Amino acid sequence: MKFFADTAEIADIKELAATGLLDGVTTNPSLIMKSGRDFHEVVKEICAVVDGPVSAEVVALDHPTMMKEAEKLRKIADNVCIKVPLTPDGLKTCKALTGDGSMVNVTLCFSANQALLAAKAGATFVSPFVGRHDDNGWDGMELIEAIRLIYDNYDYQTQILVASVRHGIHVLKAAEIGADVMTAPPSVIWGLFKHVLTDKGIESFLADWAKTGQSI
Ligand code: G3P
């Protein structure tokens, strides 16, 4: 499963990229607002740090303006992935852009039928928001299972990008179901490394090693 960082904080992205485990980045208008940075500048910087897809979202709601915005965004770097909302205009834009060789991430997916539409529109990625689904009394991971089943039934190549990931259980379930990608805040990704027995094990091994008086 590919790991994307869901952030526009360049320092956090650099730190994660240094692990060699980061496959891409997703941003959205809220994350750009939080960063306090110029949208074009920050996307350019992220694209230089990460080789994989970097999602940058259009904000227009109509197809012609989405196309104009996408045109500007895809000029930033070859690894920019245009993010469009799951609306009729968004999917029309998706079809036009992917037909033209651009990567497209269809975002704000909350149902398996919406994911089916995204695949039919040729999306590179579809982003079901599992955390927000959970917040509203649904089971976000059931949504991922349903999308996996449908995509496998028809051999759709659209990659399931599990988004709105809030904790390690979301990551675990996404991997068990066979999602293609998950995007999570850096804190969630760092949390995956942690286990109390790993820390305790290191502590006791180092204490015993010190007693040997040796060095490597
Ligand atoms: O990738 C989508 C993500 O940014 C939304 O996450 O936590 O705001 O629901 P959240």
Q: What is the CATH number of the domain that holds 21?
A: 3.20.20.70
7 lines ligand 1 (CB under 6 A): no
pLDDT at 17: 98
Residue 165 neighbours by CB distance under 10 Å:
23
Which tokens sit at 169?
């259980």
pLDDT at 47: 98
Which tokens sit at 196?
């109390």
Domain that holds residue 119: 2-212
What's the 139 CA to ligand 1 centre distance in angstroms? Answer: 16
For residues 73 and 173, give the distance between their C-alpha atoms in angstroms, rounded to a whole number: 33
- Residue of the CA atom closest to atom 10 of ligand 1: 164
Number of domains within the chain: 1
Phi, psi of 97 (to 5 degrees): -70, -45
What's the 129 CA to ligand 1 centre distance in angstroms? Answer: 7
Phi, psi of 201 (to 5 degrees): -60, -45
pLDDT in tens, 100-148: 999 999 999 999 999 999 999 999 999 999 999 999 999 999 999 999 9
163 lines ligand 1 (CB under 6 A): yes
pLDDT at 68: 98
What's the 133 CA to ligand 1 centre distance in angstroms? Answer: 11
pTM of the complete model: 0.96
User: For the chain, which residues score pLDDT lower than 50?
Assistant: none
Q: Are strands 24-26 and 2-6 parallel, antiparallel or unpaired?
A: parallel
pLDDT at 21: 97
pLDDT at 14: 98
pLDDT at 78: 97
164 lines ligand 1 (CB under 6 A): yes
pLDDT at 167: 98
For residues 77 and 120, give the distance between their C-alpha atoms in angstroms, rounded to a whole number: 26
What's the 6 CA to ligand 1 centre distance in angstroms? Answer: 8
Residue to mutate, 25, 35, 129, ligand 1, most ligand atoms under 8 Å from C-beta = 129
- Residue of the CA atom closest to atom 3 of ligand 1: 164
Instruction: Tell me, rounded to whole angstroms, the distance of Cα 23 from its chain centroid.
Output: 9
State the DSSP string of the chain.
-EEEEE---HHHHHHHHTTT---EEE--HHHHHHHTS-HHHHHHHHHHH-SS-EEEE---SSHHHHHHHHHHHHTT-TTEEEEEESSHHHHHHHHHHHHTT-EEEEEEE-SHHHHHHHHHTT-SEEEEBHHHHHHTTS-HHHHHHHHHHHHHHHT---EEEEBS--SHHHHHHHHHHT-SEEEE-HHHHHHTT--HHHHHHHHHHHHHHHHHT---
183 lines ligand 1 (CB under 6 A): yes
pLDDT at 107: 98
Ligand 1 atom nearest to 163, measured from its CA: 1
Active site residues: 83
